[in-house]
Structure 1
Amino acid sequence: MEEIVCIEVELCFHSSIVDLEKKLVTAAEVFSEKEQRESTLLDLMKHLQGKVTHSLVIEAALPAGEVQVMAPHIYTSTDGTFVFAGSLNEVIRVSSGGLQRALIICLLIYYVKNLEYPSAFSQILFVVQKIVLPGEIIPRGLVSARLRKFLTVLNKIL
């Protein structure tokens, strides 16, 4: 399943998944420099989201039963990384590429299903969107001050 989704990523976003993953690694490095400490994409997400109840990336195993949030999101644990695409029948195991690949696949799901970003997830999804589709305009009113500052620094690098 992951291979098919990766091909769809390349068709939809006109770039190889490996190149897009490298750009997300660069984004984490830019955030590390900005914060003057070693940071990950999870740290960036937490910084941008602030204090929200739900998170795009959940640091726990994929639940076997009901899921609280039905919007596409990511589970990551020692069991692996999984993209929940809307139901328990729509779960993609990410075997390589880690969180970077999972974020790109998650963005693809929002595009393919034509879904709006939930407000709790929007800031990190906007980062991924700007990296994957740099020409797309993000409405100014949807961008937080933290995201605006980060994108200004990131655009100088990318």
Structure 2
Amino acid sequence: MSILSSEDLIVRRAIALQKRDAQVERLHSRVLQHRIEGARRFERDHAATIRDFNFKRGDLVLVRNTKIEKSLNRKMRPRYLGPLITVSRNRGGAYILAELDGTLFDRPFAAFRVIPYLARKSITLPEDFTDVGEGQVRRMEEQDDHGDDEADQDPQDEAN
């Protein structure tokens, strides 16, 4: 390889710049293809662990206590809190939950934190079950919140 003249160098860089848009587009499509393949592979590999329980109004559930996962003295702490009652689900997929006495939590809970509570019988909820009006429940349902904005959410702290 020899030293190029300024004109040759400018020509080579101009040719490379002309090819850039096609190369970026090809790179973008390959990255997108690999992301889709990775998502499919993840779903296939974890098919036994990925569940959407799709709880209905009145279902009893437990909520994973993510607040203790980062603490060092978590051995004797409760891993799950509840049982709690499912009031509804918002647009983002998070669950709106209430205590057994009808006290509604101020924020929805992420779906990955909620698991079924295996009770012997189900509970039918009256229309005016919660301590707040149905308007507040409807506003919470309209949110696109996924419920994971604050992973350290503790139902016992919010109830007090």
Q: Of Structure 1 and Structure 2, which has the larger fraction of its residues in helix?
A: 1
TM superposition score normalised by structure 2: 0.20
TM superposition score normalised by structure 1: 0.20
